[in-house]
Amino acid sequence: MNNKLYGNLIFELSKEGRIGYCLPDNNFGNYEIPSSMCRAEDAALPECDEMTVVRHYTNLSNNNFGVDTGFYPLGSCTMKYNPKINEEMAALPQFQNLHPEQPAETVKGAEHLIGILENYLKELTGLAHFTFKPYAGAHGELTGLMVIDNYHRSRGDLQRKKVIVPDSAHGTNPASAAVCGLEIIEVKSTADGLVDIADLERLVEQEGPNIAAMMMTNPNTLGLFETSIPEIATLIHNCGGLMYYDGANLNPMLGVCRPGDMGFDVMHINLHKTFSTPHGGGGPGSGPVGVREGLQEFFPFVSPYNGNFAVMMRACAYILSLGREQVKLIGPLATLNANYIKESLKDVYELPIDGLCCHEFVFDGLKDKSTGVTTMDVAKRLLDYGYHAPTIYFPLLFHESLMIEPTENESKETLDGFIAVMRKIAEEAKTNPDEVKSAPHNTPIGRVDDVLAAKHPVVTFRQLQAEA
């Protein structure tokens, strides 16, 4: 990592007259773009030779941390290994060169591949039909809610606009509902971190005919399995609502439990979590939506073609590689890894809810709160020791949430190394709290000034130049 030597922007490496391409000659005759169509000034884009571009982006990559770099215990994000064979398969020219408007007879292989993936997902989830149009998890949530809204509309049930979500839900759940024109009502959690059935009964009693759906993830964002799920599904179905499964936490359920069997009617899957496609620094993902028989006619048109097809190819290669022999081990091994970390650290970090967890769990900061060392400080100190930070300050149920999710790919040695460092940081919090509070020290840059960035937004090179 070398921010000092290679911290320039590509614009700052530009020199007039350099080029990084070689195009064919224009031998079509005299066709000139009329100036009446044209912009007044050229776009001020960089002018660089090829090697300058290659070095620049290679050095930028060195200032990044990926799953291939080290342990990435980011809760709720399922940062599993992204197999190399999948990348190679997704780049096959026989697929990469297909135009989405090509007629069916010329894309049989691609359609066939989508069919294979759909069959895998149907079997793994217990649902009957999938649409691959959604581009990401949040897009899948929106699509699934549109299915539900379309279903109620088709029955003339126009007043069903309320969606129940647990107070521990992912932020996208309420936001997706709002985009879909639906309203959120929150159901409380019990002290054990599960849906409060009494509170849910009260909501169903009050709002019954207005309830469109209940939206949940199981295991929930605390990593706890909602054991009352059959009762919850019955309550919602009896009042005329549908059950939506947020597939963000599907990984620990592989080999254990299928959303369709739990009573869910609609779900999305994050292929970039459970099925190993790379997160790519924030995207592209893929969020296919599955439904129970009879709901497929309500799939909405949320994107023009086959969704993120090349992402689907990777997921398909992954399931094909693991096969029925290995897929069923994903959940148990991920769950074992999470419980192993939890049990190894709960004497120094505050575990608000004890007991078995699934793929992830949440600490409420350090056990010893007297040091003044916060979850943010622990997260930043982890970077110094070569680990990515866990998810912090989510879920909102606790003040100092530290949400840890190791995947099935991590070895005991990796987990032991992480545990040792977490214990060391807990010790440092007592003996040398300033060292922890001012972390990180070994990264290309130190802690950044978020307030400055937001107060006075500089978001383009043009603005940056104007500042100088």
Partner 1 sequence: MYKYFPHTDEDLKEMLEKVGVKKLDDLYAQIPESIRFKGDYQITSAEGEMGVRRVFNQLGAENKQLTCFAGYGVYDHYVPSVIPSLLQRSEFLTSYTPYQAEISQGTLHYIFEYQSMMTQLTGMDISNASMYDGTTATAEAMMMAVAAGKKVNKVLVSATLNPKTRQVIDTYALHHGIELVTIPMKDGVTDFSVLDNQLSTLDGVAGVIVQQPNVYGIVEDFTGFADACHEKKVLFIIDSVIADLAVLKTPGEWGADIAVGDGQSLGIPMQFGGPYVGYMCCTEKLIRKMPGRIVGMTKDNRDQRAFVLTLQAREQHIRRQKATSNICSNQSLMALFVTIYTSLMGKKGLKEVAELSYAGAHYLCDELLKTGRFHLAYEKPFFNEFYVKYDGDADQLYQKFIDAGFLGGVRVEDGFLFAVTEKRTKDEIDELVKIAAL
Is the Cβ of residue 198 or residue 396 nearer to partner 1 in the bound state?
Answer: 396
Contact map string, positions 116 to 145, toward partner 1, x by CB under 8 A: ---xx--xx-x--------xxxxx-xx--x
Question: Cβ closer to partner 1: 119 or 159?
Answer: 119
Nearest to 330 by CA among 421, 226, 251: 251
Answer for the pair 169, 216: CB distance below 8 angstroms, yes or no. Answer: yes
User: Residue 223 in contact with residue 357, Cβ under 8 Å?
Assistant: yes
Burial class (CB in 10 A: 0-12, 13-18, 19+), 216: buried
- Tokens 């031998």 found at: 27
Shorter beta-carbon distance to partner 1: residue 12 or 205: 12
Identity of the residue, 5 or 370, whose beta carbon is nearer to partner 1 in the bound complex: 5
Contact between 18 and 48 (Cβ < 8 Å)? yes
Residue 441: Cβ within 10 Å count:
11
End-to-end CA distance of the chain: 26
**Torsion over CA of 130, 134, 135 and 137, rounded to 10 degrees?**
-90
Q: Do 150 and 200 touch, CB atoms closer than 8 A?
A: no
Shortest Å, Cβ 371 to partner 1: 20
CA distances in angstroms from 405 to 64, 74, 249, listed in the order given:
20, 6, 10
Give residues 236-255 in contact with partner 1 (rule: CB under 8 A).
255
> One symbol per residue from 356 to 395: x for binding partner 1 (CB under 8 A), - otherwise; what is it?
x----------------------xx--x----xx----x-
156 vs 370 by CB, closer to partner 1:
156
- Whichever of 337 and 365 has its CB closer to partner 1, that residue is 337
Strands 289-291, 361-364: pairing kind: unpaired
Give 50 or 205: the residue with its C-beta nearer to partner 1.
50
What is the C-alpha to C-alpha distance for residues 340 and 413, in angstroms, rounded to an integer?
12
Range in contact with partner 1 (rule: CB under 8 A) among 206-214, 364-372, 426-434, 454-462: 454-462
> CA-CA distance, 421 to 257, in Å (whole number)?
34
Q: Determine which residue in the list 168, 221, 339, 401 makes contact with partner 1, applying CB under 8 A.
A: 339
Q: Which of 201, 293, 430, 464 binds partner 1 (CB under 8 A)?
A: 464
In angstroms, what is the minimal distance from the CB of 348 to partner 1?
15
Is 155 one of the binding residues for partner 1 (CB under 8 A)?
no
* Residue 31 half-sphere exposure toward CB, CA atoms < 13 A: 4
Identify the residue among 410, 425, 426, 436 touching partner 1 (CB under 8 A): 410
The SS3 assignment for 82 reads coil
Strands 162-166 and 211-216: parallel
Q: How many residues bind partner 1 (CB under 8 A)?
A: 193
Site for partner 1 in 185-224 (CB under 8 A): none
Binding status of residue 344 toward partner 1 by CB under 8 A: yes
When asked if residue 20 is in the footprint of partner 1 (CB under 8 A), the reply is yes
Residues 276-335 that bind partner 1 (CB under 8 A): 278-286, 300-311, 313, 317, 319-329, 332-333, 335
Classify 74 as helix, strand or coil: strand
For residue 125, CA distances in Å to 111, 121, 371 come to 21, 6, 46
Residue 445 interacting with partner 1 (CB under 8 A):
yes
The answer to whether the CB of 189 falls within 8 A of the CB of 166 is yes
Tell me: does residue 92 bind partner 1 (CB under 8 A): yes
Stretch 28-67: interaction string toward partner 1, x if CB under 8 A: xx-xxxx--xxxx-xxxxxxx-x--xx-xxx-xxxxxxxx
| Contact status: 176 vs partner 1 (CB under 8 A) | yes
Q: Which one, 35 or 370, has the nearer CB to partner 1?
A: 35
Nearer to partner 1, 370 or 448 (CB): 448
- Find the shortest distance in angstroms from Cβ 208 to partner 1: 21
